[in-house]
A and B are shown apart, each in its own frame.
Chain A
Amino acid sequence: MNIRPFQFFLWISLTLLAASPVRAQQNPPPDAATKNAVDEDEYAVAKIYDPLESFNRAMFKFNDGLYDYVFRPVSTGYVMVVPAPARRGLGNFFSNLRFPIRFVNSLLQGKLKRAGLETEKFVVNTLAGLGGFIRASDGVPALTDVPSEDLGQTLGVWGIHKGPYLVLPVFGPGSARDTVGLVGDYFLNPLHWDQLRNVDGHRWWWDTALQATDSINSLPGLLKLYDDEKKAALDPYVSVRSAYIQYRDAAVQQ
């Protein structure tokens, strides 16, 4: 298992976390206005800790080029070759496989009921959904809307500051806290457990092919989200940063 890039990010993130101010600069809720405030004061500008802005902006530009010249052609080709039902099935399969991430993090946050629902969902989708390819859990009302947990959220629930905003090459927007989370979740993902090694006739590229399929399969959806955000933005860097921070804050609150 090659974890060198992750070790690098872990090191960077921990250093940045240590250097960040102790007091959290949370997004004020949109309705934080005083009772008699006029309309214009209804929404305060969220203060985002971005001491690495020039590095982040350069990375943002780099990723933008990467998405346009590498990821987009791959994604377009993939969509042409693989029909929508197959893409959806694969998406369901890899999402079901990430069950340990959601289960362990629900437990780490003390959300026992959620951990139970996640287990139920995994069993239903694996058994009734042909190994996870069909989201059979949609037929069970209690399982249709279980908020997904990850390590970045767990650290947030534990009161750890999100640290500086950080745009990672390839991965895109993040924070120091979420980068540490990403590394932890990497080890909780069965795709990285080398389980295929026990199968007869195992070849080294089987794992790589599986991991690549997971990444490529999620590309069209991710690029659509990114494009929508960028298309609507007057300043794409500020817009994506604001969206990312709001999105993660909301996920921690859930």
Chain B
Amino acid sequence: MDFFEILLENHLRGGRPETILAQIATAYPLSFHGVGLNIGAASEPDLGYWQRIKTCFDRYQPFLVSDHLCWTGLPGAQLHNLLPLPYTAQNLRVLSERIQRLQDFLGRQMAFENVSAYFNWQASELPEWEFLAELAEAADCLILLDLNNLYVNACNQGFATADYLQALPAERVAQYHLAGYTAKPGFFFDTHANPVYPEVWELYRQALNWIGPRPTLIEWDTDIPPFEVLEAEALTARAIWQTRCPV
């Protein structure tokens, strides 16, 4: 085990999760991954949440902190889903400023993950990869590249994965996520409920070539299999890494 990644919201309340996290922190590097930042909402940011995560980051000093490039709801009506934004130049400016403000407050950079989406906004002016790449530069933030989400979106929306990979500023990609989707009638659904598909392993190989080696995590949070199955997935990722990036 090289590092532990925790779902941030599970560890902001104390009790047993915090006790366990404190024990893990003594022996392993940590990465914190959130789902509650709601950075893309058009409403005011939840400064109470900012303060809670800052306290947690300051205490544990994870090597990476991340959330998603999305919005998840509005005050009084949270959807708890990772929803796409209209990729417009105006939203890029506003989001960039908000991320800079957040990073100033936290005193560190954050990484933002590309999300799976089942529609695009007609108002979008830029492809997702261009928006993500420009945002990372403008806000001086990092990218968590989820290769499963990238593959699902490429298949569902009909773009080339190579265009996406080659557009990203490699030095800003801080981590890879891998997972398995579910094929539904008419589209691929990002469920994190299956082994990584061969096409996504291939995309991982390409990412290692074009972007380079980065900490890699297998996500599996629905229909969780026996540990041996998950371990085999991690060993496959390690084997690909070692083939592409020999020490």
Are A and B bound to each other?
Answer: no
Interface residues of A (CB under 8 A from B): none
Interface residues of B (CB under 8 A from A): none
